[in-house]
Amino acid sequence: MIDYIKLLNQEQHKVVTEADGPALVLAGAGSGKTRTLVFRVAYLIEKGVDPENILLVTFTNKAAKEMMDRVERLLGFKPEHLWGGTFHRVGNLILRKYAHKLGYNRNFSILDQDDSVSLIKAVMADLNLNVKGQNFPKANIVHKIISFSRNRYEDPKTVAEDVYGYPEFIAEQMDKIYNGYQERKLKANVMDFDDLLINWLKLLTDFSEVKERYSKQFKYILVDEYQDTNFIQAEIIRYLSSFNNNLLVVGDDSQSIYSFRAADVKNILDFPKKHKDTKIFRIERNYRSSPQILSLANSSIRNNVEQFDKVLFPDRPDNVLPTLIAARDVHNQANHIVKRIMELYREGKDYSTMAVLYRANYQSAEVQLTLSKYNIPYVVRGGMRYFEQAHVKDVLSYLKVLSNFSDEIAWKRILLMHEGIGEKKADTIWKTVSHYSSVAELIDSKIKLTGKASESWQKIASTFFSIEKINSSQKGFVSEVIEYVVEHGYENHMKNTFDNYRDRLEDLQQLMNFTALYDNLDQLLADVLLSETFDNKESTDKKAVVLSTIHQAKGLEWATVFIIGLKDGDFPHHKCMENPKEIEEERRLFYVAVTRAKDELNMLYPIRTFSYKFGEMHNSPSMFIKEIDDTKYSVKSNKYQDQAYDEEDTIYYD
């Protein structure tokens, strides 16, 4: 028998042994929620519950496998027929038995994202939509709109208008595409990932015998990360638990940060209202962070209104206070981080124990450049390096051609992003381009093209003709070039190509600010090249500094954490300032960032930033810093000499 009293703390033990009926477990960051769930499953099995009567639902295959493995190790045997896995996996298993009730055969195929996009493309062709027009989104964007709307339980037209910002004459086509997409899937006997949940819910709501079977079978249901559930997932769980009413959900409303994926924090906040006689348990002992870091985290999150009352308390001895560093600018911010990383490394700390976190990708650009200059290995978690992102490379291609008219790779990248120009026509155009040394000469040349290819080439030539006229000796020359390229076609290209085009547009706006600091185009391109080609063994070397958005960092931890860009307008984002609910999610995002740190937390913001349009701007620290009791952190002067300048760093405070 497992010694639960010895192996669990008091809070965890109470959940494991007393959580019958509807139960909400508020498990704070670093409190051992996975351990608690694993022990609860083991406890039920030791008490005689048949494993096939237990359902354990997680959000990732990795988490599911980890929990199942830990249950097996804890029990000393493999519990046969235990239902465990992601929502999609469990939904697939049930649909294999009952898909015929929905008009599908049981041997239906599952579409991956590429297959789904291809099918939507075919539907759009059938509808004779002007999909090649400059104003209509491509099939991959339409797929994102449809998927998001289904997970929000809203119609695609509304999502296209309200979330993606498309005009009504485009948005109203989304419902037509959606209906055609659904018909094609049914005819082809295929389902996409969203169908695995939506059709599962449909079985439970429309067919009482299905609901009765599984609600009776699953005597105990356990759900991990409940704060990340969407409407459909919450409804599925509600129906499944309707008979036995033994539903245990574990989560932390303070870490609900995925509304952009259709997650709804209301699911966890309203759980006691929707499930009568809910027991609420709190697991608040934190095993990860120092008392000082937890104190700051608690001080911040208590400013949220819509939340459960809870306070994390530490299981570790005192350590140093978190620090607030007001850097002179983004260059100085990056230099401080790199110098501190070098200090820690000399003290014997592995690079892998350090992380730089940020709200948006563009904030990491200067840090990436500086790490590369100092030959420090780093890995960008869950994404590409800033200067290797498609939209950034697209725009930089125009700069590369300006610097070197014979750059074939840059030319072909520009050509291939235009309508009507494929690989063969790009080769044909390049053969002509390679004989000239300026756009002016090209304008007078004759390239035999027809239709859309001819129109696209004229646009390209016209763009270069215009940007070549920009005075290269004036301050902000590079930024002006980027602005022209974005405003004269590329913004529209992004909108119709990328589902997150607004984020990418902001990246490019920040790129304008970044490049405005350069007087020399060749120096800029050289620095970018250094960042792109720096061999830091990104894919194989685990001993590397981690760079990550805060969203990608959730669930992880590091000994030393740097949170950058903590200035008003960036964090919280200026677009959230008028919406209290969005401000609260931004604060939760800050809370997640803070609670990734175990020993040392450094919070940084640039006092001065340069805006291409507005010039030099003076910044104040984020409202999330200002609202924290200033005894919770220390303000440190930056002792490091800034390598980007000849002068010594000077720190200013408001």
Active-site positions? Answer: 33-34, 224-225, 255, 596
Helix (H) / strand (E) containing 84 = strand 83-86
Cβ atoms of residues 403 and 478 within 8 Å = no
DSSP bridge pairs for 324: 603, 635
Please report, for residues 3, 35, 281, 284, 608, the alpha-carbon distance to residue 9 in angstroms, rounded to integers and kept in the order given: 12, 11, 13, 11, 48
Long-range (24+ apart) CB contacts under 8 A made by 258-265 are 258/228, 258/551, 259/585, 261/151, 261/228, 261/230, 262/148, 262/151, 262/152, 262/230, 262/231, 263/227, 263/228, 263/229, 263/230, 264/229, 264/230, 264/231, 264/234, 265/227, 265/306, 265/585
Q: Which amino acid is at 371?
A: L
Rounded-to-10 torsion of CA 553, 296, 25, 314? 100
Report residue 212 as tokens: 């009765």
The HSE-up count of residue 45 (CA atoms within 13 Å, CB side) is 26
Q: Which residues of 87-117 are buried (b: 16+ CB within 10 A; e: fewer)?
A: bbebbbebbeebbeebebeeebeebeeeebb
Q: Which amino acid is at 501?
A: Y
Phi, psi of 247 (to 5 degrees): -120, 115
Supply the DSSP symbol for 621: B
Rounded-to-10 torsion of CA 352, 355, 360, 361? -30
Helix 365-373 to helix 521-533 angle, to the nearest 10 degrees?
80
- With the C-alpha atoms ordered 641, 642, 647, 651, is the resulting torsion angle positive or negative? negative
d(CA 135, CA 607): 40
